[in-house]
Amino acid sequence: MRTVVPLAAIARDLDEYNLLRQVGSLAYSEHLLERVEHEEQVAARVLYSAQKIGEVLAELFDIMNPSKIMLGGNNWKLYPFMAQTIRQTCRGLSNLAREVDLQIQFIQEPINSLMFKGAGEKAFRYFLETHIPEGKLFPI
């Protein structure tokens, strides 16, 4: 899995590892998206990663039986292209996924942005739950 799914593995297989290092994961994902419609080799390689993600999700789904699976990461821009293959592979291999409505949600934001939003939400809830009076956090 680690050797075929990450953007670095895709870039290596397409002889574009230096390009990935130069432009970064977001720009490289956009570069791949521009090419998947016109280049069969690129589309096949990205879909191979999607298939492997689906295989792993099927195993995890059968073990954990979650109500929802959320995917994010540095190749999030590719998920719209990969989504159908991921879902079909997971549903085809998972015993449980065939019997229930498996929800796979693709996070369309960079993970660091989500972390900041999550931390802010957690802090806001803490303030509400502990009833900290106004002005007690920082001296005014």
Read out DSSP for 7-59?
Answer: HHHHHHHTT-HHHHHHH-HHHHHHHHHHHHTT-HHHHHHHHHHHHHHHHHHHH
Digit-coded pLDDT (tens) for 2-57: 677 889 999 999 999 999 999 999 899 999 999 999 999 999 999 999 999 999 99
**Which is more confidently placed, 118 or 65?**
65
For the chain, domain boundaries: 7-108, 109-140
Tell me the torsion sign for CA atoms 109, 110, 116, 118.
positive
The rounded Cα 84 to chain-centroid distance in angstroms is 14
| Tokens read off for 84 | 């159908």
What pTM was estimated for this model as a whole?
Answer: 0.74
pLDDT at 85 over 70: yes
Q: Residue type at 71? A: L
Please give the CATH number for the structural domain made up of 7-108: 3.30.420.40
On whether the CB atoms of residues 112 and 76 are closer than 8 A, the answer is no
Q: Residue type at 107? A: I
